[in-house]
Amino acid sequence: ETGVTQSPTHLIKTRGQQVTLRCSSQSGHNTVSWYQQALGQGPQFIFQYYREEENGRGNFPPRFSGLQFPNYSSELNVNALELDDSALYLCASSLGGRGGTGELFFGEGSRLTVL
């Protein structure tokens, strides 16, 4: 157990809808990173939040957005869902933002299916 919790664990949406995924980081961690893992592939970096600010972004369109709250929990929002957005969305917490030297602790993910 890493102490990183994600909700919901599974959800099904239809194309064009919007979804919000939630993550509670490990106690003491001020950084949250989100990754998308398509079936049979490695995780791909979406973005990182550090002290409530976006602190780096991967190659994802603006309809992927996020928030980090004062307690360091985070949300990932995806608008105008497409079939290719079907994936496992992983949240990882760490300490110190991009300059941090500690490992990432991953949650168990939210599996999104878009029909």
Partner 1 sequence: GENVEQHPSTLSVQEGDSAVIKCTYSDSASNYFPWYKQELGKGPQLIIDIRSNVGEKKDQRIAVTLNKTAKHFSLHITETQPEDSAVYFCAASNNAGNMLTFGGGTRLMVKP
Name the residues that contact partner 1, by CB under 8 A: 2, 4, 31, 33, 40-45, 48, 56, 58-59, 90, 92, 94-109
Given the complex with partner 1, which of 4 and 81 has the nearer CB atom?
4
Beta carbon of residue 38, minimum distance to partner 1 (angstroms, whole number): 11
Beta carbon of residue 15, minimum distance to partner 1 (angstroms, whole number): 26
Beta carbon of residue 103, minimum distance to partner 1 (angstroms, whole number): 5
Given the complex with partner 1, which of 15 and 37 has the nearer CB atom?
37
Cα–Cα distance list, 52 to 13, 22, 70, 97, 115 (Å): 28, 14, 7, 11, 32
Contact between residue 16 and residue 77 where contact means Cβ atoms under 8 Å apart: no
Given the complex with partner 1, which of 18 and 26 has the nearer CB atom?
26
Please give the full DSSP string across 69-108, using - where no structure is assigned.
Answer: -TTS-EEEEE-S--GGG-EEEEEEEESSGGG--SPPEE--
